[in-house]
């Protein structure tokens, strides 16, 4: 490998060793923290930029704009600075300080929107989107627009193929939380193309069950549960939607760190919690995959590991 961009993807997968749950089968965790900025979003950031370059909608000298909770923003900042594009990111004060610091350290110009009560809500996400939209009207500006950009799925299809290769296609279910839905759509597309009949389970916070019950709410699981159904979410590719309590997801993130040495964020804890529940349902011979979306290092200041 000669280029840091070649280190995106091909992340390891590990089997949980210490689960003490009756009737639970094997749980495999895909470690996306191994990507250069510590999250799975490097995959889609690269796809959004390189597909736009190929189409000619992004050219030398242009600026890029995006709204982000921090993961996509860091991935884009990393790629834009390598490729020489100026990047403007709109984020909000509900996301971890580490994520905002990372976006800035990688060269992005970051604008922070104030939330009403420190929670992630549909209204706050819409404010971020509207501001990015406003900036996108400036000349020579390319809006990656992650919630409407199909290249996001393209970026995550290899993640699905990697899981299939790593587990020899022998998978009963895969669990993943939904933000843009890019990851779960990418995995589902790869599984479908490969003829794998594993169940694809979407996971969302209990307090904002938009996909399962059509109800929006508020929570602090960064990157997921936006309070509306994302445009690229195709329910035909999803076998089931389950909800997980945020407090349980947080406990599982702490357990993963202490018992398994897997240091990941809240959405990852939610995926592992969902995988354990699904595995118990499918029985002790089942093999279930959870995506560990990013590194726990991004959640130190928000207190995920404090108790």
Ligand X SMILES: Cc1ncc(COP(=O)(O)O)c(C=O)c1O
- 89 lines the binding site for ligand X (CB under 6 A): no
- Maximum C-alpha span of the chain: 59
Instruction: Please say whether the beta carbons of 58 and 52 come within 8 A.
Output: yes
Q: Of the two residues 41 and 277, which places its CB atom closer to ligand X in the complex? A: 41
Phi and psi for 259 in degrees, rounded to 5? -100, -25
**Mask for 119-158, x = binds ligand X (CB under 6 A):** ----------------------------------------
What is the C-alpha to C-alpha distance for residues 287 and 170, in angstroms, rounded to an integer? Answer: 7
What is the C-alpha to C-alpha distance for residues 230 and 178, in angstroms, rounded to an integer? Answer: 8
Residues pairing with 202 in the sheet: 176, 241
Instruction: Please say whether the beta carbons of 102 and 77 come within 8 A.
Output: yes
- 294 lines the binding site for ligand X (CB under 6 A): yes
Q: Which of residues 167-226 bind ligand X (CB under 6 A)?
A: 177-183, 222-224
Q: Which of 235, 246, 247, 187 is nearest to 211 (CA)?
A: 235
Write down the least CB distance from residue 283 to ligand X, Å.
28
Out of 149, 253, 267, 295, point to the residue binding ligand X (CB under 6 A).
267
Strands (E), the chain: 13-15, 26-31, 63-67, 86-92, 109-113, 141-143, 173-177, 199-205, 240-244, 287-292
Write down the least CB distance from residue 232 to ligand X, Å.
9
Is beta strand 240-244 parallel, antiparallel or unpaired with respect to 199-205? parallel
Q: Which of residues 65-84 bind ligand X (CB under 6 A)?
A: 69, 71-72
Q: Of the two residues 206 and 267, which places its CB atom closer to ligand X in the complex? A: 267
Residue nearest to ligand X (CB): 223
Q: How many CB atoms lie within 10 A of CB 256?
A: 23
DSSP-derived letter for residue 264 is B
- 269 lines the binding site for ligand X (CB under 6 A): no
Write down the least CB distance from residue 299 to ligand X, Å.
9
**Mask for 30-59, x = binds ligand X (CB under 6 A):** -----------x------------------
Write down the least CB distance from residue 199 to ligand X, Å.
18
Number of residues that bind ligand X (CB under 6 A): 18
Query: Can you give the binding site for ligand X, defined by CB under 6 A?
Result: 41, 69, 71-72, 177-183, 222-224, 265, 267, 293-294
């Amino acid at each position: 490998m000669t280029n840091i961009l070649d280190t995106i993807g091909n992340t390891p997968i590990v089997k949980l060793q210490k689960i003490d749950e009756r009737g639970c089968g094997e749980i495999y965790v895909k470690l996306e923290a191994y990507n250069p900025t510590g999250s799975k979003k490097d995959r889609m950031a690269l796809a959004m930029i390189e597909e736009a370059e190929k189409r000619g909608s992004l050219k030398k000298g242009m600026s890029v704009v995006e709204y982000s909770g921090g993961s996509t923003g860091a991935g884009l900042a990393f790629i834009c600075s390598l490729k020489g594009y100026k990047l403007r990111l709109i984020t909000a004060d509900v996301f971890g300080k580490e994520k905002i610091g990372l976006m800035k350290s990688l060269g992005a110009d970051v604008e922070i929107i104030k939330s009403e009560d420190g929670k992630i809500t549909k209204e706050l996400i819409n404010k971020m989107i509207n501001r990015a939209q406003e900036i996108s009207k400036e000349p020579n500006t390319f809006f990656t627009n992650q919630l409407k950009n199909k290249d996001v799925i393209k970026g995550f299809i290899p993640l699905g193929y990697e899981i299939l290769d790593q587990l020899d296609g022998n998978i009963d279910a895969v669990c993943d939380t939904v933000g843009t839905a890019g990851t779960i759509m990418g995995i589902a597309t790869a599984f479908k193309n490969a003829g794998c009949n594993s169940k694809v389970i979407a996971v969302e916070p209990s307090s904002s069950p938009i996909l399962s019950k059509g109800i929006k709410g508020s929570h602090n699981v960064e990157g997921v549960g936006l309070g509306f159904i994302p445009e690229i979410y195709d329910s035909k590719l999803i076998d089931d939607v389950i909800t997980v309590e945020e407090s349980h997801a947080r406990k599982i993130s702490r357990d993963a760190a202490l018992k398994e040495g897997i240091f990941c964020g809240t959405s990852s804890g939610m995926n592992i919690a969902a995988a354990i529940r699904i595995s118990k349902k499918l029985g002790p011979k089942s093999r279930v995959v959870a995506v560990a979306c990013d590194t726990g290092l991004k959640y130190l200041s928000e207190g995920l590991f404090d108790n």
